[in-house]
Amino acid sequence: MKALVLAERSETARALAAGARLMADDVVLVAIASLQVEEGTADKIVRIALPDGAVYDDAADTVISVFDAERPGLVLVEPTRRMKMIAGKLAVHTGTSVITDVMEFGVEGAKSLYFGGIAERVQKPTGEVAIYTVTADAFVDAEPSGANVTEDFAWVVPAKPLDLISSKPLEKSGTDLFKADIIVAAGRGFAEKDELDLARKLCEKIGAGLGCSRPLTEGVNWLPTEAYIGVSGVMLAPKVYVGAGISGQMQHMVGCNRAGTIFAINKDKNAPIFKQCDYGIVGDLKTILPELVASL
């Protein structure tokens, strides 16, 4: 069987290609735009260059053509917003559905979360093609391989291209959270945007990346979207996670509960996060964070 891998980031491309290697004989990675591909990632790399003025999302039609040319039985997709959209269009094209947010594969099928992360289910594909959006951590010990034979694929002009009205560089939260061993996550316990400096100081002190709960991005826009952790944000497995002013709702915790050690700071001793952490400090983050920074 052949597997197609769709990913936006090099590390995830490598991780998903490694997973695909466990499940298929041939692994083909689709590299859209300037995706860097490390040596030995896949048997074949199909490169799709974005023409001037085209937006990333318009690559869906070209990806569908790659699919038709390769005829894979398995498609593994990085669960980013743009890739999920492409996976959806591919599923419509193939007359199947996407099995989303897969966290691990077992003999019973693919395990994923639903109802915003409060329930788990195991699913098996029903059609000839299986399309999964899957977290890079699903294949921990797998190693990729392949000759990376590279082919440039001609751009397919979409029937309904998006109009690019304006663009601006994405504001980065600092450290790439996927690469961070330690993550400090800020929640709604931070009453003002300026208070985030307390978390930033702790990050500097312990070499951590700054993440957050969803309300700090989609609610108030204090941090960029890619910084929020959880079922609809990024799913991470750092060595250490420190949740400050975060209540510990399931939708957030599924994005960090595979951390090696979990610390929590919350002024409410009954906050759900205290049932999910290894170490907890009950107190006001405005007092605790400066004390921590001073004592470390």
Ligand X SMILES: Cc1cc2nc3c(=O)[nH]c(=O)nc-3n(C[C@H](O)[C@H](O)[C@H](O)COP(=O)(O)OP(=O)(O)OC[C@H]3O[C@@H](n4cnc5c(N)ncnc54)[C@H](O)[C@@H]3O)c2cc1C
Chain residues binding ligand X by CB under 6 A are 116, 187-189, 213-215, 228-233, 245-247, 249, 251-252, 255, 265-268, 271, 284-286
The least CB distance from residue 265 to ligand X, in Å, is: 6
Report the residue number, 66 or 216, with the smaller CB distance to ligand X: 216
Report the residue number, 73 or 283, with the smaller CB distance to ligand X: 283
Q: Which residues pair with 263 in a beta bridge?
A: 242, 279
230 close to 212: Cβ distance less than 8 angstroms: no
The least CB distance from residue 156 to ligand X, in Å, is: 33
- What is the DSSP pairing of strand 74-77 with strand 130-134? parallel
The least CB distance from residue 245 to ligand X, in Å, is: 4
The least CB distance from residue 166 to ligand X, in Å, is: 27
Q: What string of H, E and C letters represents the secondary structure of 160-175?
A: CCCCCCCCCCCCCCCC
Question: What are the strands, taking DSSP E only, across the chain?
Answer: 2-6, 26-32, 44-48, 74-77, 98-106, 109-114, 119-123, 130-134, 149-152, 182-186, 209-212, 240-244, 261-266, 279-282
* Residues near 282 by beta carbon (within 8 Å), at least 6 away in sequence: 266, 267, 268, 269, 274
Report the residue number, 47 or 84, with the smaller CB distance to ligand X: 84
Report the residue number, 138 or 254, with the smaller CB distance to ligand X: 254
Report the residue number, 150 or 287, with the smaller CB distance to ligand X: 287
* Residues near 150 by beta carbon (within 8 Å), at least 6 away in sequence: 44, 45, 47
Give the alpha-carbon dihedral of 128, 134, 136, 137, to 10 degrees: -110
Burial group, residue 158, by CB count within 10 angstroms (0-12, 13-18, 19+):
middle
The least CB distance from residue 79 to ligand X, in Å, is: 11
Report the residue number, 116 or 127, with the smaller CB distance to ligand X: 116
CA distance 187 to 13: 30
Q: Would you call 155 helix, strand, or coil by DSSP?
A: coil
The least CB distance from residue 242 to ligand X, in Å, is: 12
Amino acid found at 71: R
State which residue has the least CB distance to ligand X.
230
Report the residue number, 79 or 233, with the smaller CB distance to ligand X: 233
The least CB distance from residue 240 to ligand X, in Å, is: 18
Q: How many angstroms separate the Cα of 279 from the Cα of each of 121, 196, 262?
A: 30, 22, 7
